[in-house]
Amino acid sequence: MRVLRNLPNVPPGFVGRQGELAHLDDALTEERVVTLTGAGGVGKSRLALEAADRVLRAQERGVAWADLWPLPDDRLLVASVADAVDFADHTTHQALDSLTDWLADRDALLILDSCEHLVAPCRRLVARLTSACPRLTVLVTSREALGVSGEHVIAVEPLPAATDAVEMFRLRAAAGGTPVSSPADLVAVARLCARLEGMPLAVELIAGQLAHRTVEEAELELGPRLDISAEGSPPGPPRHRAVRTTIGWSHELCAPAERLLWARMSVFREPVDADTVRVVCAGGPLPADEVPGTLEGLSRKSVLSRDGSGYRMLDTVREYGRMWLEQVGEGRALADRHAAHFVEVARDADRGWLGERQAAWYERLGSAHADLCAALDHLLSERPDSAVELIGLLAFPWSCRGHLREAADYLEDSLALSAAAGPVRTRALWALGITRVLRGEHEHAGRLAAFCRDRADVQDDAQGTLHAAYLLGLTHLLQGRPMAARNEVEAALRRAGGSAFTSAGHVLCHLVRVFSLTGEGLLETARREAEELRRGCVARGEWWTRSYTDYQLALIALFEDRAEDATAHALSMLDGKRHIGDSFGIALGLDLLASALAAQGAGERAVAAYGAGETYWSAVGHPQRGTPELGPVRERYEDTARSLLGDDGYERALLVSSLSDPETVLHRLLDGPRGDS
């Protein structure tokens, strides 16, 4: 069973809250739904992250973290949770039904962070999951409780102003290069923290200003604003006003370029690198060459935090920036620029699919997932034709990276809203066919492929013809018609001309031809062409096709009783699929590796691979799949492994593997010693 280990990086320097942590530890042991409530900036997410990390380090149950603040509505709520729990849904069932099935027997803690704008849909989701998944605990952070039956609510209070808040201020100031140590400064810090009501976000923002002013100056400038009796003070409880006032004061103290960049960066949903910020946010009074320095200024002021090589903005700070973006009249323009940038990212990824940066592009599209969804949402409402192009480019890599259902939903919506014609629409229809075939809807996929082939012929679109032939060939292969698959791709290749690596469409069709030759039993020709195709992939640094040529070479080697060669190719396939994060391909590869290991007489390692493979198959929501010739291979070598270990030994080994973290098993199989154990 897959052990969930999905948490954001836990930053150092957690201050205080030992009593709250102890309370939360107990609640997570005894309750099914625990909700941390409190004002924005009070530290709910940080407390939840610390508690979740303690659960994970105890190694007693899995942990998964779902960021919900990037979601404008509940459209992607279930998909976001599925992504957090590593469920790549390939089923045709309702999304929530499939997610519930995946989590049904898992002993895990699921954290839903920032639910306040989705209270009703989160209430329904949590009620369903906890009723159907008896070992699941849900930890929620929200400015208000969900109202779920049995919900245990913990109100998160500000830090004690005289102690922990002062310690946080001191640590943050020191981290920013402006340590506070003199008695007079510490007294001033204590007064400031008292006026800030001990609110952690406010404390961090003030500490971030010390690069430009002394503690005394900060107190003199901010103090009058925090006087709750002052005329014009913002409404609401003091701690809410403290955060809003501090954010507003921090905003005023920013240079004009910093204020503008703060507003413009509110358009992003994920941590973002400086180059992307420059492309989307530069312009007018913010020249591109000033963006790096402006980013560093916002980072020093704690408006931004570093996240690896990128910059992250807290959602409370982002809300303020978004408000200013609308006030300066740039909201729509920035959304347009944001969407246009990510369309270009998708185009570059598509153009680079055959090159040495293929794996990097898969990773880039994965890390930008929330921003790509935001771009699609904007384009669906403003320019559906562009949405068709964007999702048509994304659907294939998304299908590999666990976002198959989202790809299908966006494809259906964009195609329904757009009147776009030509190759862009044909590509999107082809991509919809890919999602259908991966969900096992072969006949529907075949109809879409045939339609795409006809449209591509009319449009004289050679790439469209090749892509359609690949999809038709794939549907034939999966239904046990290898000769029909080969006829389809060979006709398209003759018409298109060119070599195997002329384009992505050429490569895909040549791959189907290799699969077809194997299915027809023409093993020598299949092996020769697979080896040639693999050499081309290696020369170009391409992983997706290379891994499937290894898959075929492993299968051919098994048919020819070359167990060691089969094992080597299966391991190479798995390494390739690991590079691009393809769970479906890893599931296929583990089945094949298990058979190869059994053929070698390595019974323990074979059963370990079988068990991990079963978990990966369940993570895509359906039983084992693949071309029909794989089925008898599985059955034959499962029997071999059973005979090597005996019935009892086989069952024990399978149980151990099934209960182990499959990623750990995969790591041992790929990177550990190769002898049986």
Most confident of 59-73, 441-455, 658-672: 441-455
Residue 336 lies in a domain: no
Q: Cβ of 119: how many Cβ atoms within 10 Å? A: 15
User: How do residues 373-414 score in pLDDT, each as one tens digit?
Assistant: 999 999 999 999 999 999 999 999 999 888 999 999 999 999
User: What pLDDT is attached to residue 225?
Assistant: 66
Sheet-wide strand order for 136-142: 5-6, 62-67, 108-113, 136-142, 33-37, 152-155
pTM (global) more than 0.85: yes
How far is the C-alpha of 612 from the C-alpha of 533, rounded, in Å? Answer: 29
What average pLDDT does this structure show over 256-260?
95
Question: Which amino acid is it at 275?
Answer: D
Same domain (yes/no): 423, 469: yes
pLDDT digits (tens, 9 = 90+) for 468-496: 999 999 999 999 999 999 999 999 999 99
pLDDT computed for residue 486 by the predictor: 97
- Provide the domain count of the chain: 5
Radius of gyration of the chain measured on its C-alpha atoms: 28
485-494: long-range contacts, CB 8 A cutoff, minimum separation 24: 485/512, 485/515, 485/516, 485/519, 486/512, 486/513, 486/516, 486/517, 486/520, 488/512, 489/513, 489/516, 492/465, 492/466, 492/468, 493/466, 493/469
- Please name the amino acid found at residue 233: S
Burial of 668 (0-12, 13-18, 19+ CB in 10 A): middle
Q: Are residues 248 and 262 in the same domain?
A: no
What is the pLDDT at residue 229? 40
Range of lowest pLDDT (18-22, 271-275, 504-508, 652-656): 652-656
- Provide CB contacts within 8 A for 667, sequence distance 6+: none
Of 503, 502, 506, whose CA–CA distance to 473 is shortest? Answer: 506
**pLDDT tens figures, 123-148:** 999 999 999 999 999 999 999 999 99
Which of 507, 523, 538 is the endpoint of a domain?
538
For 418-545, strand residue ranges (E) read none
304 with 234, same domain: the answer is no
Query: Pick from 329, 349, 383: which residue ends a domain?
Result: 329
| CB within 8 Å of 333: residues ≥ 6 apart | none
Closest CA to 197 of 171, 228, 220: 228
Q: What percent of the chain has pLDDT over 90?
A: 65
**Between 429 and 242, where is the model more confident?**
429
- Per-residue buried b or exposed e for 274-284, using 16+ beta carbons within 10 Å of the residue's own CB: eebbbbbbbbe
User: The tokens of 222 are what?
Assistant: 């901010």
CATH code, domain carrying 500 = 1.25.40.10
Residues 97 and 89 sit within 8 Å (Cβ to Cβ): no
Asked if pLDDT for residue 676 goes beyond 70, the answer is no
Q: Which residues does residue 312 pair with via DSSP β-bridges, in sequence order?
A: 305
Q: Which of 150-164, 322-336, 656-670 has the lowest mean pLDDT?
A: 656-670
Report which secondary-structure segment, H or E, holds 36.
Answer: strand 33-37
Lowest mean pLDDT among 48-52, 334-338, 560-564, 630-634: 630-634
466 in the same domain as 446? yes
pLDDT tens per residue, range 81-106: 999 998 988 888 899 999 999 999 88
- Determine the structural domain holding residue 402 and report its residue range: 341-538
Query: Cβ(265)–Cβ(272) under 8 Å?
Result: yes
Q: Is the pLDDT of residue 228 over 80?
A: no
The reply to whether 493 and 558 lie within a common domain is no
Among residues 424, 505, 496, which one has the least CA distance to residue 470? Answer: 505
Same domain, 71 and 13: yes
User: Is 129 in the same domain as 196?
Assistant: no
367 and 493 inside one domain: yes
What are the phi and psi torsion angles at 307 (to 5°)?
-135, 90
Nearest by Cα to 572 from 550, 594, 593, 591: 550
The DSSP code for 312 is: E
Residues 282, 207 share a domain = no
3-class DSSP assignment, residue 34: strand
Least confident of 45-49, 51-55, 576-580, 614-618: 614-618
Residues 504, 551 within the same domain: no
Spatial separation of the C-alpha atoms in residues 138 and 129, rounded to whole Å? 9
Q: Are residues 81 and 151 in the same domain?
A: yes
506 — phi, psi (to 5°)? -60, -45
Other C-beta atoms lying within 10 Å of the C-beta of residue 177: 9
Angle of helix 630-659 relative to helix 583-600, nearest 10 degrees? 100
Lowest mean pLDDT among 49-53, 167-171, 203-207, 366-370: 203-207
In this predicted structure, the answer to whether residue 518 has a pLDDT above a threshold of 80 is yes
pLDDT surpasses 70 at 232:
no
**Reported confidence tier of residue 623, pLDDT bands at 50, 70, 90:** low
DSSP 227: -
Tokens found for residue 480? 């046990």
Mean pLDDT in the chain? 90
Contact 567, 600 (CB under 8 A): yes
In 3D space, the residue among 105, 57, 114, 58 whose CA is nearest the CA of residue 85 turns out to be 105
Q: How far apart are CA 182 and CA 189, in angstroms?
A: 10
CATH number of the domain enclosing 56: 3.40.50.300
> Among 25, 27, 117, 107, which Cα is nearest to 70's?
117
Strands 305-307 and 310-312: antiparallel
470 and 500 both lie in a single domain: yes
